[in-house]
Chains A and B, each alone.
Chain A
Amino acid sequence: KNQVEQSPQSLIILEGKNCTLQCNYTVSPFSNLRWYKQDTGRGPVSLTIMTFSENTKSNGRYTATLDADTKQSSLHITASQLSDSASYICVVSGMYSGGGADGLTFGKGTHLIIQP
């Protein structure tokens, strides 16, 4: 069964510090990997998407890396801000045919709290 495991489950850091969130997956064959940010009480919003041929993608202070050989991804947040407090969800897309809905596997998320 396809699985996406995220670590840590929760993380507390001080404002201005950097942090790295991890995502390991077993989805195969692999199509792409996306990181979402979900603020409390809102829907997830996409941060980055990477295909198997990409190993890094940046979006402002967010940098995602991908190692398709080891099936691992990380999301690095630089110079954290209070607004970075949120859940971060890793989503892996497997290959699918005919537009089927079984192509996405969601991680349970990492809950990040930035303290002033």
Chain B
Amino acid sequence: AQSVSQHNHHVILSEAASLELGCNYSYGGTVNLFWYVQYPGQHLQLLLKYFSGDPLVKGIKGFEAEFIKSKFSFNLRKPSVQWSDTAEYFCAVEEGGSYIPTFGRGTSLIVHP
């Protein structure tokens, strides 16, 4: 069965620090990749997605992610975090054509002002 690993469960940063959250998956075929974010008290919402094409994907609020097929990875990055980025971040992977997503366990990010 497909598995999705998010290596960092809790990350604490100061404002303006750079962020990288890891995501690795186990499926060897075609995949659709997502990062979702859940701000405190809000529902899950899409941050960015990769279906095909340029492996460097840009999302909302200055986030980007890079799909590295050889490493089965889809890491999320932001060059300078803000206090408002405090949230839970989830990586999700769909085996191509299945439309059935598998989520990682999430990374809790706290940004200190």
B and A form one assembly: no
Q: Which residues of B contact A (CB under 8 A)?
A: none
Q: Which residues of A contact B (CB under 8 A)?
A: none
